[in-house]
Structure formats: structure tokens, C-alpha cells
A and B are shown apart, each in its own frame.
Chain A
Amino acid sequence: MESILTPLLGLAWGIPLALCLLWALPSGHRLGERLVPWSALPALLLALLSGGIDGSGTGLTLPLLFTGAEFSLDPLGRAFLLFTALLWLAGGWFAAAYHRKDPRSGAFFLFFALTMTGNLGLVLAADLLTFYLFFALMTFAAYGLVAHARDRPARRAGRIYIVMAVLGELALLSGLLSLGAALGGVPTFGAEIEGSWRLLEGGDASGLSLLATGVLLAIGLGVKAGIVPLHLWLPLAHPVAPTAASALLSGAMIKAGLLGWVRVLPEETALPVLAMGFLGVGVFTAFYGVLMGVPQDDPKTVLAYSSVSQMGYMAIGVALLVHDPALAPLALAAIALYAMHHGLAKGALFLSVGLADRAPRAAGSPDDPWRRRILVGAALPALALAGLPLTSGGLAKNALKDGLGELGGVHYAVVDPLLLVAAFGTTLLMVRFLVTLERRRRDSLADAGAEGSEGAGFGGLLFPWAGLIGIGLVGVAWMGIYTPITGDAALPGLFDGWLAGLAPVLLGGLAGFAVLRRGEWLGSFRSVRIPAGDLLRPIEWGIQRLPRPDQEAIVERLEALGGRGTGWVVRAFDPVIALADRDLKSIRGAPLAVLVFGLALALVVLLLR
């Protein structure tokens, strides 16, 4: 891709990074806050313009940078770059309006820019360490977004987030080291990394280190992707982060884990155990997210659990990829489609929550024109997420099913019906989301009381939201046109399996609204209370009750081991020290130094003679 687009491979992440330097200037952050929301434009431009170009092969090489950084854009990367850049633009636009009066907006946009740099850079990275570099940047900078509110829930969420992130980072690093050591260097993605896996396979008869490497990478990236049980941070971080940040976390950033899986896991070296692990965990996650999500009261927590559940589907795509090289084109297409679809839909859904909080309201009037508009608008991506045929979600699910069909056998026989049930669950979850969203709007009106709101800057909230919904809607047609985005695989037709796709959505929707009208079963969960972060509470409870070693005593004992034994030596030197002290006090030190030099010299000379 040696073309005018090549510099964009660097500018796409370089511009947001360069903007961070503005914060080093006095009052530079004011300019920074204005520019950062738009700094994903070069990335979007790159994703749109690189359409007809086959991105494999050449790219941008910065030989001096890091360990020799390489960037390129293949079809999969292009799909990821497209929705990632769109989301960062929409999120930036939204955040600029949302944080207009936030006294800490300066800090917010600095972390925003750093996180964006990481996210865009990791999509373009073409070698192992460059990917890891941007991945780590995104992970650690996003802490600033999660903890932005600075209150207790934000601190707790931030703590859980960072602890899990560090653990994930370490698992990832150990996996990368194993790949790097096999090759004796830093493998680039594609052929070199496959070679690295082959060497790893060849170098170890037991296959243990091969499997361990695969598992470590799966876990390290899985923390970001949020598959069960590595999802614990997700339902805590999403509700407390500012709306735009939640949209980006769920829409774009957790996909970095997915992209990482695709990039580093082997396509050609068979790892059947890992593939089955992905399949099992994926299906389990898809169900678990729904089960934990339905009882939640906060619409953002519901969405967070929905993301967990949806990442389960994408993990199934990874299972196909790892299982059989023959399935790779189909699996890649399914993953690309699913990631794009979910990114756009989930981004729009999160922004709906911010809109429900901030949409203008008429003072003293019972009318609330925005309530209906927001609900209808949010229902569109919600339906897509449920997998309604003719939506992006329907298409993505079809692609995944095609892949499973190719896999065939007992896996297909078991997993396919399960996915139907899961789709039913997703629909329920979306109904639950709309219910909680409506309630949130009502509560926010009640809070505002008779004041009303001026609605200034509302366009900045509305347009990105509407834009994401619109792109999601027309996305279907457009994905059909742009086949290069999905690589070699042919996309499934829009109408393939529409009946099987429609059934769970209809049933789920009917069931949801039916019980909602009857007994408010979905409306309130007084008997079932699941705290956000489900397993976290029992885990924390368990950790607190672990027998605690007496740290003081251990340290004391260690200290005794290291220090006290030498006490008599210290005392033996007292006379020398007294002499040195006196000299330091009475004279200015020169004679002492000369004396010491001379003595030391003489001593050694005498000894060595």
C-alpha cells in the first residue's frame, strides 16, 4: 500500500498523540479540548479511502521506533478501523457537548486522546510489540476515563479495572514472550506469527508450552474482551464512566481484545483444546451475560452485561478461527461483521442513556416529547442487537451461523439451537434496557423538578447519537457492497435464514412486553438482586476472609535475616567512623580525601605485591 495513504497509517494515531502535547503548554488544554474530539478524522479517512486496495503486504515501517514498529491495514483491520474511528468521532462530539460545563473536562480529554491513540494504533499495528504497546497505552489511559467521576463508586470501579487490567497485561506479556522467544525476535502478524507458532509446536513434544502460550494469550486479551469469568470489571466500569466513555469502552475498546485474539492466535497450527475452550466459554458467556443483565436496574449496567453476552458470540467466531484453517475466511468475515455491528449498535445505545439524562425538558409541563423519540431511536439498535433479520445484527449472526454450519458435527448440533435460545435472551435484555431507560428519563425529569433545562449544546448530543443509529441502519446495505472488508469470504445473503432469525426476536419481544404489562416481572426485581459485578462480591468476601499472614512479623523476620546479623560489624566500625566524623567537622575534607585515597592505594599495593 505504498500510496498517498501510507502516511495516514502513522497520522491516524500520531495526531491524537501529538495533541496531548498541548497539555504541556500553559492553557494549552483549552485548544486541546477543542481539537481532540475531531482527531479521529484521519483514521476514518484512512478506513474509507483504502477501500479498493489490498492491504496485505507493504505498509508503514518506522525502523527506529520502539523495536522496529510496523503498521499496515488488512481487510480485517480496515473493518475494525472503520467502526473504531466512527465511534471515537461520535464519542468525541458527544463528550464535547456533554462535558461543556465539567470543571475537569481538561483531564477528561487528555485521557480521551491517549486512549484514542492506543485504540487506533493497535488496530493499525502489524507486529507483536507495537500492538502490545498501543494496547497497554489504551488500557492504562482508560483508567482516567473510568475513574473520571472521582467518587466512591468510580474509585472502586477504577480499582477493580486496573487490578484486572494489570493481571491481564501480565498474562498477555508472558504469552508474547513465549512467541517472541520461539522466533528469537518480534514477529509481525500474519506469516511470521504463524511461523512462531510452528516453531513453538516443533520445539516441544508434549505440546504443553504451545497450549500454555495459547491459554495465556487468550486470558490476557480476554480480560479486555470481557468474557466470563474475566468480565468482572465491565459491569462496574460502564455505569460510572461518563456516557461517551462507556460507549467507547463497550463499542470500541473491548473489541481490542477480540482483534488481539485474531491477530496473535494461530490459524494454521491446530489448537483444538483452545478452540473448544473458546466455543464453550463463548456460549456460556452469551447466556451468563443475559442472566446477570436482566435483573439490573441501571440501563448502563444492563448494556454492560449485554456487551459481555455479545462478546461471547464473538468468542465463538474466534473458536472457528483457531479450530480449522479452512474455516478462517468465513470466521474472519463473521468476526469483522459482528464487531462492526456490535460496536455501532452498542455505541448508539450507550449514548441514548446520556441523551435521556440531558435532553431538554419543558418546565412545569407534563409533556415530554423527547421520551418517545429517545425510546424509538434506541429501539432500532436494540433490535439489531437482538438479531432481527435485515439489520446489521441479523447479518452478523447469519455469518456466524454459516461458520458454525461449516464446522458441522456435534458442535453445530449443540451450539446452533443454544444460540437461538440466547437470541431470545438478548431480546429480553433489550426490552429490559428500554424499560430501565424510560425509567431513567422519568427520574431525571423528576430530579430536574420545575427548572426545565435550556437544552443548549443539545445538538452535540443528538447528532452523534442519531448518526450512529443511521450508520447502523444503512450499514447492512453498505456492508453488502463493500465485500473487501470481509476478506475472501462471501457474505451470507440478507434473507438467509430470516425465519430462524425472526422467531427469537418476536418471541422475546412478545414475552418481554407481555410479562411487563402483566406483573411488572421485568419491571422490578424485588426478589432477585444481583449486584453489578456479580461474582465480584463473593470473591471480595472470600478474599477478606482469607487467613491473613501477619505482614509485620514477616517483614521483621526478613529484616532480621538481612540486617540484624550484621549489627556487630556495624559496631566494630565505630572508631573509624568517629575519626571520619571529626575530620569532616574540623577540616574541610580535602586532607581526609587525600589521606583516604592514599591509604586505599597503599593497602592494595601492599597486598598485591
Chain B
Amino acid sequence: MVSPLWAWDGLPLAVVLSSFVPGVLIMFLREEQTLLRNTLNMTGALAKVGFVGLMLQGVAAGASYEWAFEILPGLELSLAGDALALLFVTLSAVLWLVTTVYAIGYMEASRNRTRFFAFFSLCVTATTGIAMAGDLFTFVIFYEALTWATYPLVVHSGTPEAIRAGRTYLAYTLGAGAILVVGAVGFEVTTGTVAFAAGGVVDPMAVEAEPIRYLLLFLCLLVGMGVKSAIFPIHGWLPTAMVAPAPVSALLHAVAVVKAGAFGVIRLIHSLFGIEVSWEMGLTTLVAVLASFTIIYASVRALAQTDIKRILAFSTVSQLSYIALGVALLDPLAQVGGLVHLVHQGIMKITLFFCAGVIAQTLGVKTVGAMGGVARRMPLTMAAFTVAALGMIGLPPVAGFISKWYLGLGALGAGAPWVILVLLASSLLNAAYFLPILRTAYFDEPSESWSDPWPHHRLEADWRMVLPAVITAALSLAVGVFAASDWSPLGWALLIVERGGL
């Protein structure tokens, strides 16, 4: 009997290499070798989606993947592909593919594209590595690599503003990285293991013996993860980093850096300490309260902005904390809500950034006030933006509603009805900053100063930028409309929780 394709053990490595190899190869290309560069990029992106698809089949059929490479005796780089890892890997593979198409269109006239695409691929490599890291050691390596791979992207334009943003970015992430390493080493020394395991590896008895030590370890790790996950008060780098080119912001805010942080928080609570132990230590309450505060605080900040990308950046800070909030509640439905939002926030937010980018690129419109008439000039783009914005508010049937529904059910189940108030307030604030954008775009008169006024007999903008936005908007809608399907993010999140994979 021929074993199925998904039975190949090397799949996790293949997933990581499918972006690493193109990334390294692109570094040696010349600037004008556009075709070759794009081919490499697209091949890698498609290959990654293919490998991930195989792994999805395998995990759904009950298989699990492990791949390890011993660096030094007793210390190995280990990649694992379980249901939880795949949730994140699938998100990054799919969004990397669409973002690559978008970036090819967006960066067409830009300089230093070789550098850009090389680091772009490395950035995704690090993200998939984080997703599939089988232990804390591997996690930390890829986590630090992500910091460095993203920096050139943030400062890409080279303007003083970008350099400043990059500096802030590095300061936050390197600082947190250092604390993370301290925490990781401390964890290894204290518990004798760095492996991730469902339900946690910390012994409750040991915690009782040395509560302060474990508390400090948790806090170190939380700071390390929290910076990338932009939890208040260590979120400051994210709104600054939005000076990066639109495809970078899109990937940064949807998948790469911020999700690495959020995923880290999941790993910290569920795979290292275990939700029971964390809860007994009162740490889940700490995370839930911090996350709740971040949700409200960032939304209030978003309300005060006029620049669309800045609104979106604060919105990211807010929405990310839904994930931390969900996984910190002691109820399986809340955890489903948090997990599923990892995916939902990604596809909705990437849509919003795609749209903001293409609108800015095509019309030169960057502020809410200038959005008048954009819906008539760019109907497809605005339709995509509308779907994603309504999803962020949490209106059914868009993805965001599913997250909110499960978070709400879980909050009531966990006996924390105050979380409902947070969710409602957040929805209200989201409505307060998204609906005026839609109103202006659909119901106000067009502006006179568009850089590319009415096109005739051609698409509203470069198809390579419009299409990705439409695809991710359709995805945001589809994952909500077909939420009950086994293959929807919700179905997958339910699978993770059912299998006790958290």
C-alpha cells in the first residue's frame, strides 16, 4: 500500500524551508532580476501552501509531526506539527501567498526590492518556525530571528521617520527578547525541561514550594511575549511601526510579529504553565485584566486618530488582546474564541491594510476626511474594506462575530460576566471609528485632489493589489458564513480544544 503524501515526516522542515530557501536565494539576485525574483517568491509561497495543506490533512486524520535536529548534545531544534501549530501555520502560509502578490504590485516602483523580498521571506520563515516550535528553545530562536528579519522591512523607506520607527521597534523587541531569554533559561533551570506539552509542564507542587520564583518566571516570559503581542503598556512600538510599506504593515499586523507574540502567550499559559496552574497562581486574571484594559485603551486611542493606517494600527493593538483574553479564561469556549480570533483577526486586519494601502497608492488618500466618494471610485476595494470593518465591529456573519460570540459564551461560562462589558464596549468603540469611515466613503462627495481620478475601461487599481484584498475579504466572510464547517477556523479551534491540544 502506498502511504499517503501527508505521511512524510519532513513536512515541518519543508514548510519552514519553502520560504527560507527563496529568501536566501533572492539576496544574491540583482535589483533588476524582477521575473526571477517573483518566480522564486511565488514558487515558495505556493509550495508552502501545498505543504501546509498536506499537513492539515494529516493532522485531521490523526497524525502528528515531529522533526528534530540536535545542535549540541541534549539541545535540539525541534519542529512539531500538531493542530494548534497548524492553526497558525495555515494562517501565515495563506496570507503570505496573497501578500506576496500584493507586494509585487505595491513595490513595483520602489527601490531596494531585492532586500525587501529577501527579508520578507525570512520574516515568514521565522513565523512558521515559531508556530511549529516544539519547545521553548526553538521558539526563542525563531522569535529572536523574527525581530531581526522584520527590522529591515520596518525601515524600508529609509526616511527619518522610518528609521525612528525602526529604532523604537528594535528597542522594544530586543529588550523584551533579552527578558524572554532570561525567562527561558530560568524556566529550563527550574523545571528541567523546555518542551511544550498540552496542559503544561509545570508541577503544581513545585509552584506551591516556590511561588515567587515561578511568578517571576511567568512575568519574564509574559513581558517577552507581551511586547510583540502589544499588550499595554508595552505596545508603543506597534503604532509607530506603521510607517512601513503597506504589505509589511499588513503582514506585520495580521500574521508575523504580533501573532508570534499572541501565539507565545498561548504557549506560555497552556503549553508551559498549564491553564490550571496559571489560574491557581492568579496569573490568568492578570493577563485577562491587562488584555481587557488594552482592548479598551487602544480603541479609545484609535478613536482619536485621523490617519487611516494609524486607526488600523491601534485597532490591531485592541483586537490582538482578544486572543490573550480568550486563552486566559478558564473555559473551553473562551479558549476557542481566543484561538479562532488568531485567524479571524489576521484575515480581517490584512484586508483592511491591503485596502488602505491600495487607496493610498492609487488616490493618495490617507485620512478619514479625504475618503469621500472612494466607494464610487474603487467599489471593489471599498466592498472588501466594508466587510472587514464590519467584521471588526463584530457583526454577523463576518469572522469577528464568531470570535466575539465564543468569547462571550466562554466569559459567562467562566463566571466572568465583566468580560461581556469589555466586549460590548469594544464593539461600540469599533463601530465609532469604523462606521464614520464607511459613511464618508459611501455617502460623501468625491474629493477633487485624487492622484488618479476616474479610470475608464479598466480596473479601479492594479489588480495585483485589488485581488488580494478581495480574496481576504471573501475569506473573512466565508469563515463566518461557513463557521459550522469542520474546515473553518472555528471547526479547527474546536478540534484543538476537543483533543486537549491546548
* Interface residues in chain A, defined as those with a beta carbon under 8 Å from any beta carbon in chain B: 23-24, 63-68, 107, 129, 132-133, 136-137, 140, 144, 147, 150, 155, 158, 162, 166-167, 169-170, 173-174, 177-178, 180-181, 184, 551, 555, 558, 561-563, 565-566, 569-570, 572-574, 576-577, 580-581, 584, 588-590, 592-593, 596-597, 600-601, 603-605, 607-609
Q: Is B102 an interface residue (CB 8 A)?
A: no
| Shortest distance from the beta carbon of B152 to any chain A beta carbon, whole Å | 6
| Shortest distance from the beta carbon of B475 to any chain A beta carbon, whole Å | 16
Q: Whole-angstrom distance between the alpha carbons of A184 and B297 in the complex?
A: 31
| Shortest distance from the beta carbon of A329 to any chain B beta carbon, whole Å | 32
Whether the pair A563, B428 counts as a contact (CB closer than 8 A) is no
Q: Whole-angstrom distance between the alpha carbons of A169 and B167 in the complex?
A: 43
- CB-CB nearest in chain A for B414: A181
Q: Is B140 an interface residue (CB 8 A)?
A: yes
Q: Which residues of A contact B485 (CB under 8 A)?
A: 64
Whether the pair B405, A180 counts as a contact (CB closer than 8 A) is yes
The prevalent SS among residues of B at the interface is: helix
* Interface residues in chain B, defined as those with a beta carbon under 8 Å from any beta carbon in chain A: 24, 27-28, 71-72, 75, 114-115, 118-119, 122, 137, 140-141, 144-145, 148-149, 151-152, 155, 163, 166-168, 170-172, 174-175, 181, 184-185, 188, 194, 232-236, 297, 300-301, 304, 333, 379-380, 383, 390, 395-397, 402, 404-405, 408-409, 412-413, 420, 424, 427-428, 431, 435, 439, 442-443, 480-485
Q: Whole-angstrom distance between the alpha carbons of A180 and B337 in the complex?
A: 14
Whether the pair B431, A590 counts as a contact (CB closer than 8 A) is no
- CB-CB nearest in chain A for B73: A609
Q: List 22 A-B contacts (CB under 8 A).
A: A24-B379, A67-B483, A137-B396, A147-B443, A162-B435, A169-B395, A170-B424, A173-B427, A562-B236, A563-B236, A566-B234, A573-B167, A573-B171, A573-B174, A574-B167, A577-B167, A580-B170, A593-B148, A604-B140, A605-B71, A608-B185, A609-B75
- 4 new A-B contacts, CB < 8 A, other than A132-B396, A147-B443, A593-B27, are A65-B484, A570-B171, A573-B174, A581-B155
Q: Whole-angstrom distance between the alpha carbons of A107 and B444 in the complex?
A: 13
Whether the pair A589, B424 counts as a contact (CB closer than 8 A) is no
Q: Whole-angstrom distance between the alpha carbons of A137 and B396 in the complex?
A: 8
Q: Which residues of A contact B480 (CB under 8 A)?
A: 66
Q: Whole-angstrom distance between the alpha carbons of A574 and B233 in the complex?
A: 22
Q: Which residues of A contact B184 (CB under 8 A)?
A: 604, 607-608
Whether the pair A577, B481 counts as a contact (CB closer than 8 A) is no
Q: Which residues of B contact A570 (CB under 8 A)?
A: 167-168, 171-172
Whether the pair A65, B175 counts as a contact (CB closer than 8 A) is no
Q: Whole-angstrom distance between the alpha carbons of A166 and B172 in the complex?
A: 37
Count contacts between A and B, CB distance < 8 Å: 176
Whether the pair A66, B408 counts as a contact (CB closer than 8 A) is no
Q: Which residues of B contact A580 (CB under 8 A)?
A: 151, 166, 170
Q: Which residues of A contact B27 (CB under 8 A)?
A: 588-590, 593
Whether the pair B390, A596 counts as a contact (CB closer than 8 A) is no
- Say which residue of A133, A562, A577, A592 sits within 8 Å of B232 (CB atoms): A562
Q: Which residues of A contact B301 (CB under 8 A)?
A: 555, 558
| Shortest distance from the beta carbon of A177 to any chain B beta carbon, whole Å | 4
Whether the pair B171, A572 counts as a contact (CB closer than 8 A) is yes
The prevalent SS among residues of A at the interface is: helix
| Shortest distance from the beta carbon of A208 to any chain B beta carbon, whole Å | 11
- CB-CB nearest in chain B for A181: B412
Q: Which residues of B contact A178 (CB under 8 A)?
A: 412
Q: Whole-angstrom distance between the alpha carbons of A57 and B387 in the complex?
A: 35
Whether the pair A584, B152 counts as a contact (CB closer than 8 A) is yes
Q: Which residues of A contact B428 (CB under 8 A)?
A: 166-167, 170
Q: Which residues of B contact A65 (CB under 8 A)?
A: 481-482, 484
- Say which residue of B28, B141, B151 sits within 8 Å of A604 (CB atoms): B141
Q: Whole-angstrom distance between the alpha carbons of A588 and B116 in the complex?
A: 10
- Say which residue of A68, A169, A593 sits within 8 Å of B119 (CB atoms): A593
Q: Which residues of A contact B396 (CB under 8 A)?
A: 66, 129, 132-133, 136-137
Q: Which residues of B contact A584 (CB under 8 A)?
A: 115, 152, 155
Q: Whole-angstrom distance between the alpha carbons of A608 and B180 in the complex?
A: 12
- CB-CB nearest in chain B for A607: B185
- CB-CB nearest in chain B for A144: B442
Q: Whole-angstrom distance between the alpha carbons of A277 and B416 in the complex?
A: 28
Whether the pair B484, A569 counts as a contact (CB closer than 8 A) is no
| Shortest distance from the beta carbon of A535 to any chain B beta carbon, whole Å | 21
- CB-CB nearest in chain B for A580: B151
Q: Which residues of A contact B420 (CB under 8 A)?
A: 174, 177
Q: Whole-angstrom distance between the alpha carbons of A63 and B435 in the complex?
A: 32
Q: Which residues of B contact A588 (CB under 8 A)?
A: 27, 114-115, 118
Determine which residue in A137, A177, A570, A605 has the highest number of CB atoms from chain B within 10 A of its CB, and name it.
Answer: A177
Q: Which residues of B contact A24 (CB under 8 A)?
A: 379-380, 383
Q: Whole-angstrom distance between the alpha carbons of A147 and B438 in the complex?
A: 13
Whether the pair B484, A590 counts as a contact (CB closer than 8 A) is no
- CB-CB nearest in chain A for B412: A181
| Shortest distance from the beta carbon of A267 to any chain B beta carbon, whole Å | 23
Q: Whole-angstrom distance between the alpha carbons of A478 and B170 in the complex?
A: 76
Q: Whole-angstrom distance between the alpha carbons of A107 and B373 in the complex?
A: 13
Given the known inter-chain contacts A66-B397, A566-B236, please indicate yes or no for A605 contacting B72, CB distance below 8 A.
Answer: yes
Given the known inter-chain contacts A562-B236, A607-B181, A607-B185, please indicate yes or no for A150 contacting B481, CB distance below 8 A.
Answer: no
